[in-house]
Structure 1
Amino acid sequence: MGQKSLVSTWHYLVALAAFLLSYFAGLPMPWIIVGVIAVGLLRYAILSKTSKIDAIPGPLVIVLAYVGFMAGFNHFHQSYSMAAIGLITTAYFTFLPNFALIFVGAPLIERTQKNTCIQFILSLVTASVVGVIVNLACYLGIGILFPSGVSSWYAIEPMALVWVLFSLFLLFKYKIGMLKLILLSLAYGFLLFLWRLNKMPMG
């Protein structure tokens, strides 16, 4: 697959994410991340698993702009100009179809608010969105818990496992807010990084 195929695939993913953004706000981010990483664009080395994790959590537009920038930067040999084009293209395909569909589709959506059949279909879509988000969480979790690959249970990262279990304890036992948990996780990761840095042999 060549340059044209890569660009076409990227435009398709971003345009579809923008379309879904108009009606199902939670779906595009898992779609674009899983699409870019798991479906095949990883073969072009436009975004690594570490870079992907750095993009989450974050607002949809920021995540997509980040992915677009890294795609242009990495695929075109660290070219900042192509990175800027990737960012602008991503923002364009995210915003323009979104606003157009909102203006065109708003009257139709209003008329279907009391339609029980439509509401039932939307409830199924909501369930599928939850499933996609759970799938994304599992995909990211495996990358964190098994950084060297799922070869066996011995390959698990113990410090990551400890924090995952502690985070679940804080969420379910003390109902800690998501922002606080993110900040705690950031502090834990930073301290873990410093600890491992000090353990590295000098020379």
Structure 2
Amino acid sequence: MEQGVTARSTPTFQELVTTFARIGCLSFGGPAGQIALMHREVVEERGWISEDQYLHALNFCHFLPGPEAQQLATWIGWKLHGWRGGLAAGLLFVIPGALVILALSILYAAAANLSWFAALFLGIKAAVLALVVQALLRIAGRALDTRLKQGLAFAAFLALALFALPFPVVVLGAGLIGFVVAALRPDLLALKPAGDAMPLPPRPWLASLKSVLVWGTIWALPMVLVLTLLGRDHVLWQIGSFFSQLAVVTFGGAYAVLAYMAQEAVNGFGWLRPGEMADGLGLAETTPGPLILVTQFVGYLAAFRASDPFTPLVAGILGAALTTWVTFAPCFLWIFAFAPWIERMERAVRLKGALAAVTASVVGVIGSLALWFGGHVLFRTYAAGLPVWSSLDWRAGLLTVLCAVLLFRLKWGVLPVLGSAALGGLFLAQI
């Protein structure tokens, strides 16, 4: 029996399912709130996982692309009931929010041309801008504890905001720098030595290879069907291909990857208009589950607007389902393939250095996102890539200030701020 999990504290499979169904329906507040909720449920109240195991697993999940909270849920299920438990916990963490986002996406596409709906989302976009700034400050406070990390964050900001370099290039470049620096000067990244440890178990090559083959096939299966039935030129192939690539580089959570997603979805593929990306994040903020479910909103609208040979509704649902599949199937692949290696990865100093550098660069990425959002929320018109100052929307500015006061001064939660901003948008639209 694993240390920290006794026979008394090990749940039945039904208890695991019931608990994670509850967590999936209550997991509001982004990764910080979701991680805290799972800690209370499985560590503090039930004792299924020890404190050390939980923290080690959380560190491990930070090494992986994708939503760390959902991957942590999958790891907990895997630790307690093998692949069956991991599958149940991971799916139950995602499904409630995915169903709600799908319903809201359908409503959004049907009502986007209504004036009251536009007014409602004016407030939501202002709240999202304040939330992005809050996320930026929180992550910067935790991540930028050395001069080198601060420099990496600033370089990432310039690379995206000024030079428009692709997001994957920025993140992978930072990871490479961190890998090299960790080998030469780990103190520059504030890395702690691994210290003494118990002997390591045998390397689980066979189990990892089997997981990669099984989940790689599951990941690719819908894409094979789309390619066979609809071809490479169809929007569903474009959606599946793009979000499959995104699943490999989503280090730093939804806020970090949103800048790259927005750049491609708006300017690259033309699936969305600039303000709609903020609308989608606003919807994701109001629902349980990972914030990366905003990808489902993008997939729905992209397929809804290029629906042939389906009806718009059917195409939208297919686009949303495909997006969710290729976003989260890789999460199960990472966990089932690499979880047996967790003890070894905890002692990999160079890997920790790469992660520390990536986390630092993510601060700059989120700063670029805040700048992009701010411009498209506060200004109605752009010329030569810059906002036209005369097009400043005073209503959006007022609502953004209000949301900042509620978040930073009065310490309101996400849902009350979003609700107040939406009502404020409806009220100001009458003026």
TM-score by length of 1: 0.77
Q: Closer, same or farther in 2 for the Cα pair 1:140/1:67, shift >3 Å?
A: same
1:179, CA displacement in angstroms?
3.0
**Greater RCO (Cα-Cα under 8 Å, separation 6 or more):** 2
Which residue is equivalent to 2:329?
A: 96
Q: Deviations over 1:108-150 (max 9, x none)?
A: 3442223332222111111222222222222121111112225
Q: Which runs of 5+ in 2 are unaligned?
A: 1-230, 285-289
**What does 1:181-196 align with in structure 2 at a 5 Å threshold?**
181-193=417-429, 195-196=430-431
Off by >6 Å, runs of 4+ in structure 1: none
Tell me, yes or no, if structure 1 residue 51 matches structure 2 residue 276: yes
Question: How many residues are paired up?
Answer: 189
CA distance, structure 2, for counterparts of residue 143 and residue 183 of structure 1: 21
Partner of 1:178: 414
In 2, Cα distance between equivalents of 1:84 and 1:5: 15
After superposition, give the CA deviation of every residue in 1:141-178 in whole Å (9 maximum; x if it has no partner).
Answer: 11111122255322211121122233333433333333
Offset at 1:8?
Answer: 5.0
**Aligned counterparts of 1:84 and 1:178: Cα–Cα separation in 2:** 28
Sequence identity percentage: 26
- Cα distance in 1 for partners of 2:244, 2:336 equals 17
Give the aligned residue type for 1:129. Answer: V
CA contact (8 A) 1:47 1:74 kept: no
The separation in 2 between residues aligned to 1:109 and 1:147, in whole angstroms, is 49
The match for 2:198 is none
- The partner residue of 1:169 within 405, 414, 418 is 405
Q: Residues 50-94 of structure 1: CA distance to partner in whole angstroms, max 9, x if unpaired?
A: 432221131435312211111111123662222222122112211
Over aligned residues, Cα RMSD in angstroms? 2.7
Distance in 1 between residues matched to 2:294 and 2:387, nearest whole Å: 30
Unpaired segments of 5 or more residues in structure 1?
197-203
Secondary structure of 2:362's counterpart equals helix
Query: 1:31: how far off?
Result: 3.5
Q: Pick from 344, 356, 359: which aligns with 1:123?
A: 356
The reply to whether residue 82 of structure 1 matches residue 284 of structure 2 is no
Q: Quote the offset at 1:5 in angstroms.
A: 7.7
Decide whether aligned partners of structure 1 residues 55 and 152 sit closer, same or farther in structure 2, where only a CA change above 3 A counts.
closer
Question: Tell me, what secondary structure is at the counterpart of 2:305?
Answer: helix
Alignment partner, residue 201 of structure 1: none
User: Helix, strand or coil for the counterpart of 2:327?
Assistant: helix
Letter in 2 for 1:92: W
Separation in 2, partners of 1:11, 1:79: 18
CA distance in 1, matches of 2:296, 2:397: 31
Which residue number in structure 2 is paired with residue 36 of structure 1? 265
